[in-house]
Amino acid sequence: MLQEIDHLYGLKLSATDKDIGHIDDFYFDDHSWLSRYIVVDTGSWLNSRQVLLAPEAFTADALNHGNATAKHIQVNLTSKQIENSPSIVTHRTVSRQYEDEYYRYYGWPNYWESGMLGAPGLTAFTPDLFGGSDVVHPRHQGGDPHLHGTRDITGYMIHALDGELGTVSGFMVNSKTWGLHVVIIETGAWYKSQSFHLLTEHIIRISHEKSMVYVNVTIADLTRNVHR
């Protein structure tokens, strides 16, 4: 159910009538830690224009059924629908104005008013990492979301309560809910270059200005008590 997000980058996407490109990035909401959009690199088809696809464009378990041989995921839209969708200029945040236009274009209920907090058919998810419920209760509801790209955050320094403890090397995504449950931390030479898994619920905030992710654990917590 949980898989490294790196394994999803590059997966091909097929509309109902043709291939449309591949997964380049995920935009997630740092209040609920849900993936709100897949960023699609359309390649030569749309002159390398990037488009966003919300979870509503896929079946509920789409991320869990990427064909291991063909490496593709089916999108429940036509290529013409995607081509005519609102254009984005990729950056670290997506405005609510753009999202309003996006959801009106597709005729989908928007997630911030409809209660759709997760993937299609799910309303919430829990941070039970290795099995059990698929439900998480977001820390914040309503207001503008804080959307970030997973590729943007990769490489950011992790700042614990008592110092810096490594860098973000990836995420673990729940293939049913599209929730980012875990951040993967590479410690570097200070702790034998080990990798640790930390629940995203421990992240306090993300600073793009400082390329820093602030967490509410100590270095000792990380090396002694958190999942690895």
What is d(CA 142, CA 86) in angstroms, rounded to the nearest whole number? 23
Q: Tens-digit pLDDT profile for the chain (228 aa)? A: 788 999 999 999 999 999 999 999 999 988 889 999 999 999 888 887 889 999 999 987 788 766 555 678 999 999 999 999 988 765 545 788 888 999 999 999 988 876 555 554 433 333 333 333 332 333 333 334 578 899 999 999 999 999 998 999 999 999 888 999 999 999 876 666 678 899 999 999 999 899 999 999 998 887 775 544
Q: Mark whether 106 and 200 lie in a shared domain.
A: no
Q: Mark whether 10 and 93 lie in a shared domain.
A: yes
Residue at 138 is within a domain: no
The verdict on pTM exceeding 0.95 is no
Q: Which has the closest alpha carbon to 163: 146, 139, 187?
A: 187
Helix and strand numbers, DSSP H then E, in the chain:
5, 13
Tally of CB atoms within 10 A around 96: 14
Q: Give the end of a domain, one of 64, 96, 114.
A: 114
> Which CATH number do you get for residue 11?
3.90.50.10
Q: Mark whether 155 and 213 lie in a shared domain.
A: yes
Q: Mark whether 155 and 109 lie in a shared domain.
A: no
For residue 192, give the 3-state DSSP assignment: coil
What is d(CA 148, CA 136) in angstroms, rounded to the nearest whole number? 19
Residue at 131 is within a domain: no
Number of domains in the chain: 2
Degrees (nearest 5) of the Cα angle 155, 90, 173? 50
Length of the chain: 228
Domain enclosing residue 174, as ranges: 150-224
Nearby residues of 188 by Cβ (< 8 Å), 6 or more positions away: 166, 167
